[in-house]
Amino acid sequence: MRYVDRISLAARRWVLLAVTLGTVVSGSTSAAVAVVPRPGEPAPGTMSGDLTALGAEIFDGEAFDTCVAPPLDAMRDWLRSPYRAVGVYIGGRGRACKEQPHLTPGWVREVNAMGWRLLPLYVGSQSPCVRLENKRGVVMDSARPWDQGVEEARDAVASARGLGMTAGSPVYLDMEAYDHTDESCAATTLAFTRAFTREVREQGYIPGYYSSSTSGIAHLENARLAGVDDLPDVLWYARWQVPPTLHDEPVLAPYAWQPHRRIHQHAGDVYETHGGRRMHIDRNLVHAPVAIIR
């Protein structure tokens, strides 16, 4: 979660104007036309509703994420910080820090007992038009994005379950910034994301999605306006160097993905020291589901 592109006029037009989306579903292609609602008028598929009805546990506050889950003594020291939730990378072929020596079921139980809430991230296959060079070796198979999305969703849920995160917990798919104006690439990426989302949901977990505001998030908002189904329940959007907000993200309609369905990553690649412990983190404002630990 290290790349955030700035919003451009073209990106704003992409969101605000009606466009045609190519959507791949189980190997087939169909088109849907986005219709922008009149101001104040909810659109179909607003991704609204109380997620606690699905068993979600909601956290409202500040969180940090860092590449490697910190040791227990660091988590104890950081109880002096303003944060009470932490993003942890539970798996995926695209995960940057594959070695996670502290991330065990025991660690999960102990940090949860300290009062920390966990945001599980899964960095799976990336878009074929991903912008980060170091992610181009783990792009999805354009010939079978749906099947691959299902397979990786099952792996993500198995990873969460193996750490003691039970049904009702979220799994946040990390999709780094990509060129969503490339229609073929966008269709492939959306198919993978929808398949991942559907399978996570069918397994009893809550599907979430992390990306840059002006790429993956703008793409999903446009898909929502087009009436596309199988979209994630929660959006974790990266827009750095702006004040944290859960309501005023420019690419999202204010009524969409509400309530408690948003996380804003508003700063990244920063160092903070709390309790004498210095860590390299990203900063997040959260009103969204966290892992349920049993």
Query: Could you report the per-residue pLDDT of 157-198, keeping only the tens digit for each?
Result: 999 999 999 999 999 999 999 999 999 999 999 999 999 999
The predicted model scores a pTM of 0.87
Length of the chain: 294
In angstroms, the CA 208 to CA 61 distance is 17
Q: How much of the chain, in percent, has pLDDT values that exceed 90?
A: 83
5's tokens: 């592109």
The overall longest dimension of the chain from CA atoms, in Å, is 55
Taking CA atoms, 258 is separated from 4, 187, 190, 222, 255, in Å, by 23, 25, 21, 16, 6
Q: What is the mean pLDDT of residues 223-230?
A: 96
Say what the pLDDT of residue 45 is.
73
* pLDDT tens, residue by residue, 191-211: 999 999 999 999 999 999 999
How far is CA 146 from its chain centroid?
18
Of 32-46, 125-139, 256-270, 277-291, where does mean pLDDT reach its minimum?
32-46
In angstroms, the CA 182 to CA 186 distance is 6
In angstroms, the CA 151 to CA 145 distance is 10
226 pLDDT above the threshold of 90: yes
Say what the pLDDT of residue 161 is.
98
205's tokens: 């977990």
14 pLDDT above the threshold of 60: no
> What are the φ/ψ torsions at residue 62 (nearest 5 degrees)?
-100, 145
- Strand intervals (E) in 130-227: 170-174, 206-212
Element spanning 198, H or E:
helix 183-202
- Helices 9-16 and 218-225: crossing angle in degrees, nearest 10, is 20
5 pLDDT above the threshold of 50: no
In angstroms, the CA 2 to CA 7 distance is 16
* pLDDT tens, residue by residue, 235-260: 999 999 999 999 999 999 999 999 99
* pLDDT tens, residue by residue, 56-87: 999 999 999 999 999 999 999 999 999 999 99
Q: Is 172 helix (H, G, I), strand (E, B) or coil?
A: strand
Q: Is 102 helix (H, G, I), strand (E, B) or coil?
A: coil
Q: What is the mean pLDDT of residues 12-25?
A: 34
